[in-house]
Amino acid sequence: MLQHPRSLLWWVAPLYKELIPASEKIRNLTPPETIEKKFENQNIIRYIKLYNGSEIYFHSADREDSLRGMGLDGLVVDEAAQLKETRWHGELEPSLTDKNGWAIFIGTPKGTNWFSKLYIRGQDRTQNLYESWRFSSYDNAKENGGFIDKQNFDIIANDMPELLRRQEIYGEFLRGEGVVFRNVQRQIKEEIKPYDGNEPVYVGADFGKTTDYTVLCALRANGELVGFDRFSQIDWVFQAKRTVNFAKTYGNARLLIDSTGLGDPIFDFIKRDYQLVEGYKINVTSKKALIENLSLMFDNREIWISNNPVLVNELEIFGYEITSSGNIQYGAPEGYHDDCVVALALAAWQLKYGFKPLTVHPIVMFGKIGVTNEI
């Protein structure tokens, strides 16, 4: 900016809330003696003007068709994987043509999309107009010349299942579909001691009525699967009674049930007669947390299961899919069941967190991808 007077530059973020910390960081890093004017107000565009006549505007992409401009010398797109490809080609890219401007794309990978294609293009030596690079979060550790203690990254990474760790910490583009539970066979115990009547047990229940099964899983405190039941085509009143009897068999165990859909009236019925029960509403976000906790517990040797063919098969075929927006969705392949997986995950959630409600903990630093494009 200082070497190129009277430049017009944009910094673009998908959401306004992502724009705020970025603009503050850039303003703080800009030498004060070079700044002529700056504005920061909800009613005024975030803006910096330098004494050499260069101007920097900060824009969010919250509203469609809001990123059109003319004569840009350069722009930075932050968290580019979250921005729709049409916003780049339809609005931002044309604004660079007048001055043969440059563009830099940075962000965390979100599956394979237009951002990943730009990255691949930058790795191709024949593509002279593109250059790309990839950094792990660990590249910003103090041991590597960065600013953050390595142990902070270790704490975050160790609390993530492999898939999330690869994407968010190491900055990898995840492709297609894959298996979620990679250590199932390792965590099988041929002999698990029966429940002895004097130990805490945690039960997870996933309900089905017609095509799906109702599955009950009981885990003791050391993570061993000490109890398992699976049945179908039973009226929900009898399902509720059978579930309560199952929990009482294991010393009035704490019971966490899928209270979504069919589980809602069953939960109400159980709650009247059995107080040690809580419901878990399953949606895209809460299922992600549930499954990733179970996956991490398998990775960390915190879950031990019996050699149950139905349970083992469900775990081994349970997969993930990277959506077009780069999000991870979990589920069984089409035509298969995931009732055992969900019931085990509910029991494991209790074992790990008790009856605490789902909370989302922000991750403070991610693996970053950078792409430059000179038009």
Query: What is the DSSP track for 174-210?
Result: --SEEES---TGGGB-S--PPP-SSS-EEEEEE--SS
Nearest Cα to Cα of residue 58 among 102, 105, 24: 24
pLDDT bin (cut points 50, 70, 90) of residue 145 is confident
Q: What confidence tens digit (pLDDT) does each residue in 150-181 have? A: 888 888 888 777 777 887 888 887 665 567 88
Choose the weakest-confidence range: 6-10, 186-190, 278-282, 332-336.
332-336
Global confidence as pTM: 0.59
Domains, the chain, ordered by start? 8-175+365-374 (3.40.50.300), 177-353 (3.30.420.240)
Nearest Cα to Cα of residue 344 among 277, 298, 286: 298
Question: Residue 61: pLDDT above 80?
Answer: yes
Bridge partner residues of 257 (DSSP): 205, 279
pLDDT at site 251:
93
Question: Residue 72: pLDDT above 50?
Answer: yes
Question: Residue 266: pLDDT above 90?
Answer: no
Distance CA 179, CA 316 (A): 7
Q: What confidence tens digit (pLDDT) does each residue in 203-235 have? A: 999 987 666 789 999 999 999 999 999 998 778
